[in-house]
Structure 1
């Protein structure tokens, strides 16, 4: 005989003993609430500071912008605030040219370094390489400027002359008043140019771009890597078909972050360039300018109205870098979530 099993219906269970969902605390644990409040507070403080910086620059620049007008301020090349004739056309164009030259050299260097660290470097060497690349970002910009002025510039003049010799038919690479085929011609026409300043700035923005690209490449799906290897792909085939498509958003974001840094660089450019107030259509020729270098150059001797004009220049640079960094951060966020990867 089998023993009879008796069950007690739920309805007959003693009062107060019914199974019920556990009530969840809305606010979470105290540690979670503290962390959430700290994170929100930090974000709010950063936004507040950025807003106050913009408001301060706008308020101080209002007098100059009213006098010159936004259009004339952006299209005038001369900088004579005391004569009420000033604008940032030359400085703004030089800033863009220097930033583009920096990105042109920094992106291949950063991408190659990031790929080597994530795909080829031995495991025991990766941490050392990552630390060295990150330490490059901590070197003061004045050190880069002094290095570029006294050591790098004399050796890169030959590259400028070579570009002028073979590509001088293009206005951007031409040098006025110099014959590159003449071995006795002086090199002073090629020094202190926007091209050299851009190459120096390239080394300054490479660590930032490399860090973003390295993080994106490291997050490539392991399953897709192994699948590509299983189908007979080489190491380069895996990089080309898996790593690069997945890290495309990170590469774009790192490039834009580097461009934002390059646009705002001051001391290194100030030490290298020879300031001129004309649009630098000849990139290799002596003389260039940038908005940040203009502010550093004229800040000490500016009058009250001249200071307002410098604040207007700073406001233009602030808005430009803010837009570039906002675009970069959105692209980096996409790459971290894997949204930038191709199926």
Structure 2
């Protein structure tokens, strides 16, 4: 508790309306609270620093062996002193991009419905449901994707043309959607070339990050100024017109920040990707084609069978992932902190 002491202003010949001088006298409980909060913040920074130092020290043997080639080699053979994360690094980014492209529209729609359209009796239930989705273990999402999503995604409807096959058929001229050695127009062609792909893994990761992105967006949308909302309605705007001119511009910073926070989670997802994807160590730029990988799933795949230099290589891979997610989350924090009420609304 802070005790505010107001001293009477000294009389002056020029004026007796001078402002009073205000002094704050902090009590013991106030000082204790400030100390606990400050210690908690410093502890978080210290833990992050210690994690970075630990990974760096454990990764030094691998970094000395490979140098900068660790970021460009497309194989993993620690015994032969030839290992790197080029393939899984590209795979990590592609999986994250697929997840964000799918998750952001879903999260935006859910956040707008809960904040603007849902009845007051239903909105709290929807908030709890979305938040509970974030608490579901990733292994459950992985099992769901492996045994339910992937089979139904590859074969949909009576004609057996699932979404990956449709994309390969009509968008295969785009390198990202091309599948080498696969003819999507062959009626008896096997869909095995489309299993265990970056696309399927990205959908699973999208389901994991959607609740995180939606929660951030929902909080930002609900803080849009009431005065600007009413002003938009007074000017004749419809509900969607008010959202487009007030809520969305106001929440732009939160939308970007939430998206980047979701991307940071997507880059580090492990078990969901590990269960679904067919692991390869080369750069696989075709998201519909069988094969891919991520840094986190590489660590889960090779940790148990690695020797000393292999463990060091995995630690170096973890260091690369740590730096990536740290930069993404740091950027998200900057964007969220820079957004302020009414700063970008058009009403």
In structure 1, what is the equivalent of residue 73 of structure 2? 76
Do structure 1's residue 95 and structure 2's residue 95 form an aligned pair? no
Q: Cα–Cα, structure 1 residues 23 and 330, in superposed 2: closer, same or farther, change >3 Å?
A: closer
Unaligned runs of 5+ in 1: 1-9, 12-20
Do structure 1's residue 276 and structure 2's residue 271 form an aligned pair? no
In structure 2, what is the equivalent of residue 237 of structure 1? 241
Do structure 1's residue 161 and structure 2's residue 165 form an aligned pair? yes
In structure 2, what is the equivalent of residue 221 of structure 1? 225
1:265-304 residue pairs with structure 2 within 5 A? 265-304=269-308
CA displacement at 1:31 relative to structure 2 = 2.3
- Asked if structure 1 preserves the Cα contact closer than 8 Å seen for 2:247 and 2:345, the reply is no
- Asked if structure 2 preserves the Cα contact closer than 8 Å seen for 1:209 and 1:255, the reply is yes
Q: TM-score, normalising length from structure 2?
A: 0.90
Alignment partner for residue 54 of structure 1, among 52, 55, 73? Answer: 52
Q: Deviations over 1:69-110 (max 9, x none)?
A: 12x111111111111001100000000000000000000000
In structure 1, what is the equivalent of residue 3 of structure 2? none
Do structure 1's residue 330 and structure 2's residue 334 form an aligned pair? yes
CA displacement at 1:25 relative to structure 2 = 4.6
Q: Matches of 1:139 and 1:301 in 2, distance apart?
A: 29
In structure 2, what is the equivalent of residue 120 of structure 1? 117
In structure 1, what is the equivalent of residue 6 of structure 2? none
Q: Matches of 1:76 and 1:243 in 2, distance apart?
A: 47
Alignment partner for residue 108 of structure 2, among 111, 122, 129? Answer: 111
Q: Cα–Cα, structure 1 residues 235 and 204, in superposed 2: closer, same or farther, change >3 Å?
A: same
Q: Matches of 1:210 and 1:232 in 2, distance apart?
A: 29
Q: Matches of 1:92 and 1:149 in 2, distance apart?
A: 23
Q: Deviations over 1:148-194 (max 9, x none)?
A: 00001112121000000001111211111111111211111101101
Q: Matches of 2:60 and 2:341 in 1, distance apart?
A: 44
In structure 2, what is the equivalent of residue 185 of structure 1? 189
Q: Which runs of 4+ in 1 moved over 3 A?
A: 21-26
- Asked if structure 1 preserves the Cα contact closer than 8 Å seen for 2:245 and 2:345, the reply is no
Do structure 1's residue 149 and structure 2's residue 146 form an aligned pair? yes
Q: How many residues align?
A: 323
Unaligned runs of 5+ in 2: 1-9, 12-19, 155-161
Do structure 1's residue 33 and structure 2's residue 37 form an aligned pair? no
CA displacement at 1:341 relative to structure 2 = 2.2
Q: Matches of 1:41 and 1:342 in 2, distance apart?
A: 37
- Structure of larger gyration radius: 1
CA displacement at 1:331 relative to structure 2 = 1.3
- Asked if structure 2 preserves the Cα contact closer than 8 Å seen for 1:117 and 1:214, the reply is yes
Do structure 1's residue 211 and structure 2's residue 215 form an aligned pair? yes
Q: Matches of 2:36 and 2:195 in 1, distance apart?
A: 50
Q: Matches of 1:136 and 1:340 in 2, distance apart?
A: 32
Q: Cα–Cα, structure 1 residues 246 and 22, in superposed 2: closer, same or farther, change >3 Å?
A: closer
In structure 2, what is the equivalent of residue 45 of structure 1? 43
CA displacement at 1:29 relative to structure 2 = 2.3
Q: Deviations over 1:313-333 (max 9, x none)?
A: 000000000000000111122
Q: Matches of 2:261 and 2:228 in 1, distance apart?
A: 28
**In structure 1, the residue corresponding to 2:135 is in which secondary structure?**
coil
- Asked if structure 2 preserves the Cα contact closer than 8 Å seen for 1:205 and 1:262, the reply is yes
